[in-house]
Amino acid sequence: EMSMQDAPENTPQRPDTTGELFTRLAFAYGASAVAAVAMLIYGYMTGNMGVVALGGLAVVLVLAVAPVSFMSVSRNSPSGLDAATMGALLGEMRAIRGSVDRLREYQSLSDDARRVLNRAQERVLLVKAIEEDITAEDWDAAVVLCEELAGRFGYREEAEEYRQRVEQARSATRDRNVAASIAALDGLIVQRRWDHAVNHAASIQRLYPDSTRVAGLLQRVENARERYKTDLERRFLHAAQGEGVDEAMGLLKELDAYLSEEDAEPYRELARGIIGKARENLGASFKLAVRDKRWRDAARIGERIINEFPNTRMAEEVRSLIDSLRERAGSVVR
């Protein structure tokens, strides 16, 4: 016959109370959260995105499962839990414990071992970075990543394909830029802005030394300048031989910027004759305007004489009259 002292030994074990289970759950989830956060910090500090992703996933898992577990416990009687609920909670705790163990094992791996585990994922990230560098036209950075893809991960054929893509894109972009720069240079030549054209041609050659299209750009500018100078000389001689004194005078002023002392010598006598005719014509026009009382024309022509022939006797005479001419021209306007 069983004594009273033996009875407790045969009595089934009492289920954990709600408070005890809360404590065990808090400990399990707390340890899991600490391990997950530690993995996140480690991945961030080492720059390992694979570790960061795994740590983040662990944090999300803990935050998602823990509230469900605590709510499940709180719904049951404070005196105990039924077998099904207890089994489910124990299963969750075992799963969390397994995840924590795997996180610890991952943290204990060497960098080389982690690299092997994350090889596929890091390859995807590296390829994406190469694509982004190509889009951003950061060619040097893309080439460095191609070397990384070949040397560090061993994807030599794929790295070579990307390297060819980088070179093709670089070449196409360079050709477009060279074409645009040469078009801008041609615009400067058309505008006869020779100093700017020379500087721009030199800049193009410095920026694109490997392009065959930039060779001889400085000579191109010089040839264009020489052709325009020759055309100016021809037009000046043609105007000087005819009656186009004003045209010849304008061409002479423009031609003066293109001629050295040696180049100008053959034109010196002809230029003196043109200047003399222009001065005489202006003087005659001025006298005629004054005689006809065309005060505005007289003032305008007088200002030209002063500006174009400032050291002549005619300019001195005009200076003595110009104020009164301007006053009369103003009264005519009013």
What confidence tens digit (pLDDT) does each residue in 79-114 have? 444 556 556 656 665 666 666 666 655 555 556 555
- Over residues 60-73, the mean pLDDT reads 67
- Sign of the alpha-carbon torsion through 328, 330, 333, 334: negative
Residue 258 pLDDT > 60: yes
Lowest mean pLDDT among 22-31, 128-137, 160-169, 282-291: 22-31
130 closest CA partner among 152, 108, 145: 145
Q: What is the structure's pLDDT at 13? A: 45
> How would residue 78 be classed by pLDDT, with cut points 50, 70 and 90?
very low
Taking the C-alpha atoms of residue 164 and residue 327, their distance in angstroms, rounded to an integer, is 78
Taking the C-alpha atoms of residue 112 and residue 121, their distance in angstroms, rounded to an integer, is 15
- Over residues 164-181, the mean pLDDT reads 91
67 closest CA partner among 91, 37, 84, 92: 92
Residue 159 pLDDT > 80: yes
Taking the C-alpha atoms of residue 203 and residue 207, their distance in angstroms, rounded to an integer, is 6
Highest mean pLDDT among 41-50, 60-69, 279-288: 279-288
Taking the C-alpha atoms of residue 95 and residue 295, their distance in angstroms, rounded to an integer, is 108
Q: What is the structure's pLDDT at 14? A: 44
- Over residues 144-150, the mean pLDDT reads 87
Residue 205 pLDDT > 90: yes
**Average pLDDT of every residue of the chain:** 78
Q: What is the structure's pLDDT at 51? A: 66
Q: What is the structure's pLDDT at 121? A: 73
Lowest mean pLDDT among 84-88, 161-165, 263-267, 286-290: 84-88
Q: What is the structure's pLDDT at 104? A: 58
Residue 318 pLDDT > 50: yes
- Over residues 305-326, the mean pLDDT reads 87
CA dihedral 16, 17, 19, 25 (to 10 degrees): 30
15 closest CA partner among 68, 83, 93: 83
Q: What is the structure's pLDDT at 8? A: 44
Residue 77 pLDDT > 50: no
Tell me what percent of the residues of the chain surpass a pLDDT of 70.
72
Highest mean pLDDT among 39-53, 70-84, 120-134, 202-216: 202-216
